[in-house]
Amino acid sequence: MLVDGESGQVLVEHNADAERQPASLTKLMTAYIALDALKRGSVSWNEKVAVDAADIGEVGGDEARMYLVPGPQVPVRDLVQGLIAASANDAALVLARRVGGSPAGFEQLMNDTARKLGMAHTHSSTPSGITTPGNYSTARDLSTLALRLTKDFPEYYTFSSEQHFAYGKFEKRNKNWLLGKDPQSTA
């Protein structure tokens, strides 16, 4: 499904209502909820969140992560940056516990938010998007979420447009090769 980001007009679609595992696109909802909590003031950008072993213990060695370790406290800003810029599953799980109070609490927030946004064919069972039974969405619902995310929280672009992300010894270059390209350049 291709949607004009300004008008919301659907330009082309094929099987846009087929329910599928959304994988890392699930983190769009995690970001939406985290940014909403920041906007409402229930979480602050500079607040430090302790990393719990139970949160990061679920992250497999082959998953995207920012290599959080149990014990240290990490600023919410770093967690949001890792979530959006590096698609870090460990950041998603730590933020979910902080914002939702527990994994189950965050799952409920995800599903309540989906209903509030009109995402009728979405159900979330994980904040990271790792393949999990009961975690599904459609291209149409994900386009609704993406449009609302960038409209309601334009600061999302600050993180998603970062060309480099670093946390401790971990560094990652954004996979979007269009970042940093000058559209006016003819070279």
Could you tell me the residue ranges of all domains in the chain? Answer: 2-173
73 three-state secondary structure: strand
Residue 175 is a catalytic residue? no
97, 113, 130, 151: which is closest to 122 by C-alpha? 113
Bridge partners (DSSP) listed for residue 170: 167
DSSP state, 51? P
- pTM (two decimals): 0.92
Convert the pLDDT of each residue in 34-67 to its tens digit.
999 999 999 999 999 999 999 888 888 888 899 9
**DSSP state, 57?**
T
The Cα–Cα gap between 50 and 14 comes to 43
Catalytic residue, from 7, 27, 116, 160: name it.
27
Instruction: Reply yes or no on whether 24 is catalytic.
Output: yes
**Residue of 87, 124, 137, 143 with catalytic role:** 87
Domain spanning 2-173: CATH superfamily: DD-peptidase/beta-lactamase superfamily (3.40.710.10)
pLDDT digits 0-9 by tens, 105-152: 999 999 999 999 999 999 999 999 998 899 999 999 999 999 999 999
Interval 140-179: pLDDT, tens: 999 999 999 999 999 998 899 888 889 988 888 877 777 7
Residue 77: which of 170, 158, 164 has the closest Cα? 158
Contact assessment for residue 68 and residue 146, using Cβ atoms and an 8 Å cutoff: no
